[in-house]
Amino acid sequence: EIVLTQSPGTLSLSPGERATLSCRASQSISRTYLAWYQHKPGQAPRVLMYGASNRATGIPDRFSGSGSGTDFTLTISTLEPEDFAVYYCQQFHSPSRLITFGQGTRLDIK
């Protein structure tokens, strides 16, 4: 089973700053199968990025994704108040058809 490790666990920033969130896989994964989600309290998670670097429908362009192999990054270029939430990376392993999430990064207002 592929383990996804996200860092940092908590990131404290101010609106207007840049956020960089990391997701590291225990073995190499295809970019095609790496997605990012935003999760706010009391709401269902929302997909932000798929295929590592493709924005989902309706996601503003301040969100971007990059990476390959075992290291992936979600960047929020200029934080808006509504961006403070928990972010998860998720991978699909095609041979086993198993899915795993990272443990999440909490983005807090400083």
Q: Out of 21, 23, 74, 86, which residue is the one contacting other proteins (CB under 8 A)?
A: 86
Q: Minimum CB separation from other proteins for residue 75, in Å?
A: 18
Question: Is 101 near other proteins (CB under 8 A)?
Answer: yes
- Closer residue to other proteins, CB minimum distance, 24 or 92: 92
User: Can you tell me the distance from the alpha carbon of 105 to that of 56, in angstroms, rounded to the nearest whole number?
Assistant: 20
In terms of Cα–Cα distance, which of 5, 41, 45 is closest to 21? 5
In terms of Cα–Cα distance, which of 99, 80, 100, 103 is closest to 21? 103
- Closer residue to other proteins, CB minimum distance, 15 or 42: 42
User: Can you tell me the distance from the alpha carbon of 76 to that of 83, in angstroms, rounded to the nearest whole number?
Assistant: 9
Which residues in this chain contact other proteins in the complex, by CB under 8 A?
A: 1, 32-33, 35, 37, 39, 44-47, 50-51, 54, 56, 86, 88, 90, 92, 97-104
